[in-house]
Every structure is written in C-alpha cells, then in structure tokens.
Chain A
Amino acid sequence: VLELVMEMMDKYMVPEGAYKNLQYTEDKVVFSSGVSDESKLLLSDPQTSGGLLFTLGEDRIKALKGSSLFFSVIGRVEKGSGSIIVK
C-alpha cells in the first residue's frame, strides 16, 4: 500500500467509485471476517496508474514476451465457483 493511503482512508477520503465497485462486486466477492472495511474499500479502489488487466491464452504469452511491452503474469484462470474469496 502506498504511503499516506491508510491515513487518507482513516480520514474518510475515499473516492466514490470505491464504494460503487464494492457494491458492484457484492455478490461475486466473499470477504472473510478478518478483512476490515478499510481493506475492502482499498481493494475496490478505482484509481489506477493506467495499468490494464487482461487474460490471454498461454500460447500467446510467448509472442508477447518477444515484444517491447512491459507486462507481468500475475495469475492463472482456473475453473471455480465464480466467487472471489478474500482472506
């Protein structure tokens, strides 16, 4: 978490979009009881630095690696319940 973000959260300086995102994902995300309201909002933060998240078939990643684009593989899509569980 970036410096000062928690301070802003403690002072309720949270963009409205965070509340909207949290509401939108209500039936898709299950938070465990230990997750604080602040963390929920933080994970729903609409502010980005311009990054883009997308999925690609594994065979395409190789082709991308040869390009000049900056990217990171952060996970793998698997068959599941359709719910995201946040612990």
Chain B
Amino acid sequence: VNGALVLLLHAHLPYVRHPEHEYCIEENWLFEAIRETYVPLLDMLERMVNDGISPHITFSISPTLAEMLGDGLLRKRFVRHMDNLIALSEAEVVRTGRSSFGPTAELYNKHFKTVLRLYTGRYSCDLVAAFRQLQDEGHIEIVATAATHAFLPAFEACPDIIKDQIGIGIKSYIKNFGRAPSGFWLPECGYFKGIDFFLKDAGIRYFFLESHGILLGNPRPEHGIFKPVSAPSGLQVFGRDVKSAGQVWSATEGYPGDPCYRDFYRDIGFDLPAGYLDHFLHSGELRLFTGMKYYRVTGATNAKLPYDRAIAMQRAIEHAAHFRESRESQVRRLCGYGFSPVIFSAFDAELFGHWWFEGTWWLDIMVRKLFDSRTVRLVTPAECNAAYSAGDNVVLHPSSWGEGGYNALWIGERNHYLYRHLHSMAERLARLKERGQSMGRRAPLMQRVSNQAEKEMLLAQSSDWPFLIEKDRASEYAERRVRGHIYNFNRLLSMDEGVDGDISLLRELEDRNNVFAWLRDP
C-alpha cells in the first residue's frame, strides 16, 4: 500500500426542540437525518464489521446533535414521525399499485420499517451509544467539535467565546464517548490565526482545514495538502483534498447529480393533495418534504422520469469504482514525486442518504472496494498522527469550507448585525460571572439563572442561524431563534439584576432550552 485516505463525515444539526408545539416542522430536520443518514450509516458500518471489514472512517458528531439524539422527547417524537410515515407509505403502496411508482413506494415502505426496527430494537433509541461502541471497538474514530457549532472566526475578538465553544465541545465529547478527543473539527473549517493555540490548550493534537488554509500558508509546504503539516502551535493539520471533494460534493460535476439518481426536490409532500397528506403528517395546509420521492434527477428538466432503484444502484457501483480508481491513480502520481501521500476527504454526513439518497450505498461499496486496494488504505487521523509525528511548519491561512472560501457566508450582508449582540452577550455574561465570584457562593437560584443565560447565549451562537439567514433558507425560523435566545438572555439577566423576579420564566426556559444539562457540573 502506497497511500492513505482519511475520510471524515461531519454530522451536525442545530439544536431544535420545541416542546411547546405538538408538531414542529423544524424538528423534522433531525428526524430526516436519523432516518436517511444516521441509522443507515450505523447499519452499514455494523454490516461491514460483521463481514470482517474495519471501515476506519472518521466522524465528528456535534454536541447539539448528540444532545438531540439523547433527548427523551425527541426520541418519542421520532418514533411517532416514523409511525406516521410508515402509515403514509402503506397508503402509497396501495395508491401507486402497479404504476411505475409502485416499486419505489414499496422501497420506502420497507426502508422506513427497517429504520424504525433498528432504531427501537438494535439501538434502543440511543444512536450515540452505537457510535461510541464502534469507536471503542477500533472501527471508527470520532473527533470533537465546538459546543453549538459556532463559526469561530466570527468570534476572534472574544477569546471567552472561543474557549467555551471548544471547552464545552470537549466536555460534551467526553460525556458522550467516554474518553478525551485527539482531533477537533472546526465548524465550517473556519480558521483564524491563533485558534490552534486554544485547541492545543484544550489537549487537542490535530485538526482539519479547507485546502487553501494550507496551500496559501507560509511557507508553501513541500507536499501541499498531501501530508499533514505542523501549525504554529505544533498541532498537526490535515488539508482537504480538492479532487475527491469535487467528485462527491460538486453540484454540477459530482456523483449526486447523476441523472439516474433520485431527485431530492420532487417529493409527494408537494405533489399530492394537502388533505390526503394531512391525515398522516398533521401538517394542515402546510407543504413539507415527506422523504417519499418517486423521480430520478433525469436532467435539467421538469419532465422527470420515474425512479428505478436497479439503475441507480448500478450507477452507485460504477461511481464507487470510479472513486477508488481516481484515488489510486492520484496516489500513484503523487508517489512518483517521491513520497507516500495522505489524502484527506471530508463531507457533511447528511449528504449521504439524505441529500444523496444512494450516498450510503455508494459509501458502502466504495469502502469495501478500497479494502481490497493495494494502493490506497483507509486510515483514521489518529493513525496518521502516530505515523507522521512532524510535518512542515506552516503559518496557516485564514479560511473556511464555505462559498468563497472565507467568512462571507457567516458574516455577510444579511446577517452581520447578529454579531454585535452575540459579542455583547458574552461580555455581559462574563461580568455576571465575575460579580458572582466576588460575592462568594451564589444563591442557588441565581446560579440557575446564570446557567440558563449561558445556554441561551451558546444556542444563539450556532453557525446555522447566520448561514440560513444569509442563504434565505428557513431564514424566518433562524432569525426567530437568534432573537428569541437574545430576548431570553436579556430577561434572565434582568432577573439576576433584581429587575424581574419571575421564576416561571426560568422554569419555562430550563424546560424548553434544556441543552447541556451537565454544563456546570463540577
């Protein structure tokens, strides 16, 4: 074997939990990801292990996602969601009958039932435990990430926020995975000069950057992104490969856009009468994705052809072979320059299964094909870290993996106003804590107020809100969330200042925004 491939799947969703509503469409983000990505991925990993293949894939599972996967209310609601979908898919099997959509309706019906059976049976509703076990058995590596997935370059001026996002992220990791993390995923690969020193202080040994974070570094490293380099702090850094990213990720040239694959947007939730769907989804007149999609991408046309699983599966096999061949030829070329390359590929986990329906099949076939390769081997970053102790010393270049490669998506025209509030919240909370310390042991009630204010602040910092606002996708919800957390924060601080003594507000917020219950445990 001449080269290594590090494949990292980053699983993250913002904290969305609304006990105040019986049904909440934004909670579907989690349910869709569980049903289409997380359960199928776990099932795939376990089947590989049973076949004697240790996949050596790397995951990052964000603290907010892990919190939601562990939440009792959301677990119950996921089961209800699946029950409803199974009932809808049963009706769809009857309705589509012998039409060209019949086999696809049956495919969904079977898929939904399998997912629910695995979720409640094998995984006992605890997906975090299933990931933990795979790591404990040495089959995957899990790296840590920031507490609520804040885009850290936006908080460069507030070291307390950076420290908390990293520190609470690591605390969450230890709680969920029972060990200290070695690697850290910077949300959106957002890097600013100096952040690696915060990671180093927190005990991290390596992290990951978008390609130009290294390629535009100073000096240019001899092997570009094909060997981990040393950051100024001494931490090891992996740079994302351009070619493999494009093959999987690119909207125009990537595999997922193949005409044979399932079209994401054409969903019965928008095609069938609202009255019929409401019976199963309880969504009233509101249109939403059901996950039941009967067409293939076909091409840049509205005249879509019916989906055909067999054809799509064949394409997934071809694309898996293509990916393996591409990596092998890449490794052979690079070996010709006198070194053994490390290719680092990273993707959002939710691409696989959710956005790209066949993605989990592709991944399954691709990993199995690579297992037989004599040229490229899948390895975890921990294995690389052990093998290459020192790389070129490089002053890294500020960067992210978002559009344009820098900060524009998270600090843009539509969302920049958020930061003056987010920065000010951190300052006010720091003053509150200082005051608490100078007063000695705080009254338990005031401690609760301070804890909840911190949670509201952390929840407001998620990179998802500025992203959704800038892209104008679910922007109303995103804006409502940030405004809501700022409002809650202000109310809580006025309680602490004795202006407002309404304890029912505290109780309500503790129940509703109940993230990180262990936050201030000793």
Contact = CB atoms under 8 A, between A and B. Distances in A.
Interface in B315-349: 330, 333-334, 337
A37 to B, nearest CB: 9
Closest 10 CB pairs of A and B: A11-B224, A7-B337, A12-B242, A10-B333, A12-B224, A12-B215, A13-B224, A10-B334, A12-B211, A11-B226
Nearest to B211: A12
Contacts of A11: 223-226, 334, 337
Contacts of B337: 7, 10-11
Interface string B236-276: 00000010000000000000000000000000000000000
Interface string A8-35: 0011110000000000000000000000
Contacts of B223: 11
Interface string B213-234: 0010000100111100000000
6 contacts: A7-B337, A11-B224, A12-B215, A12-B225, A12-B242, A13-B220
Contacts of A7: 337
Interface residues of B, number: 12
Interface residues of A, number: 5
Contacts, number: 19
Interface of A: 7, 10-13
Main secondary structure of the interface of A (DSSP, over half): loop
A1 B399 CA distance: 31
B360 to A, nearest CB: 28
A60 to B, nearest CB: 44
A34 to B, nearest CB: 16
A6 B337 CA distance: 10
A13 to B, nearest CB: 6
A55 to B, nearest CB: 36
A33 B223 CA distance: 29
A52 to B, nearest CB: 29
Nearest to B216: A16
Nearest to A37: B243
A21 to B, nearest CB: 18
Nearest to A4: B337
